[in-house]
Structure 1
Amino acid sequence: MKKTLIATTALIATAGGAAVAVASPASADVERRGTCAGATYELNVDRERGGWDVDADLEGARAGSEWKVVLRHDGAVAASRTLRADDEGELDLDAFRRDTAGKDTFKLTVKPVGGTACSTSLTVR
């Protein structure tokens, strides 16, 4: 009985450790931040469903201001929109991109309409 209990405990501990090891990279989160025209922007990339969940956020913009937001994946335009900041000075652009062979590089460019562009990029494996 004692040997069975030890073997079962070891099996559960091993399975639990494997689940954590698998879940951890799947929920890995990579982000970059910067400031542009008094607002803070953030590029956030999360591994999900065989690809990348990409989120671009802007906070602290003037309410109602318009911003050109461009997201690139490996140099190609993945999303390009002109967005208006909400009443709290925030805006958001989300995209899902398939994982490509090797490294994936994402670049976010934000620009207040009539202003100067700012950008950040990150590379994930």
Structure 2
Amino acid sequence: MLLHRTITGLAAVIVVSLPVLTGAPAQAKGGDDGVRRSGTCSGSTDWKIKAKADDGRIEVEAEIDSNHRGQTWRWVLRHDGRVAARGHSVTAGRSGSFEVERHVSNAPGSDSYRFRAVDVRSGEVCVARVAR
């Protein structure tokens, strides 16, 4: 009985410690909701990016949150290094943010996405990356 409790306790410690032992980034999250990452830009703005499977394609959502309405941002979304979309967006709403959502092809193997946004007035730069 003591051996059974010891093995059970050891298994629990290993399961709880696994993310620490593997060096999984704290800001990355996987599962049914896809892979999410978040971070800060070159100034006080925050970014978020998510990639998840959606009907044989990958849905990529990127958000820029500056807490200031009316800012114009120029952005580019890259998929495996190639431009998948580009445009301009203006921060709006109470949060002073904007979101870009695109559905891109699901290439064989791992896919990487890079979202880069630049505030056209201040020059602040945001670079968000996620791999799926």
What TM-score results when the alignment is normalised by the length of structure 1?
0.72
Show structure 1 runs of 5+ residues with no match.
1-24
Structure with the larger helix share: 1
Q: Counterpart in 2 of 1:38?
A: 44
Cα distance in 2 between the residues matched to 1:110 and 1:61: 15
Cα distance in 2 between the residues matched to 1:54 and 1:119: 14
Find the partner of 2:129 among 87, 100, 121.
Answer: 121
Q: Percent identity?
A: 25
Instruction: State whether residues 76 and 83 of structure 2, in contact with CA within 8 Å, keep that contact through their aligned partners in structure 1.
Output: yes
- For residues 80-99 of structure 1, the aligned pairs below 5 Å read 80-88=86-94, 89-99=96-106
Cα distance in 2 between the residues matched to 1:65 and 1:28: 29
Cα distance in 2 between the residues matched to 1:118 and 1:92: 13
**Deviation beyond 3 Å, 4+ runs, structure 1:** none
- Local SS of the residue matching 1:70: strand
Instruction: State whether residues 46 and 54 of structure 1, in contact with CA within 8 Å, keep that contact through their aligned partners in structure 2.
Output: yes
Count of equivalent residues: 100
Q: Counterpart in 1 of 2:83?
A: 77
Cα distance in 1 between the residues matched to 2:88 and 2:97: 13
Instruction: State whether residues 72 and 88 of structure 2, in contact with CA within 8 Å, keep that contact through their aligned partners in structure 1.
Output: yes
Instruction: State whether residues 64 and 87 of structure 1, in contact with CA within 8 Å, keep that contact through their aligned partners in structure 2.
Output: no
1:26-74 Cα deviation digits (max 9, x unpaired): x341111121231211111111111111101112341101111211101
Show structure 2 runs of 5+ residues with no match.
1-30
Kindly indicate whether residue 61 of structure 2 is the aligned counterpart of residue 58 of structure 1: no
What TM-score results when the alignment is normalised by the length of structure 2?
0.68
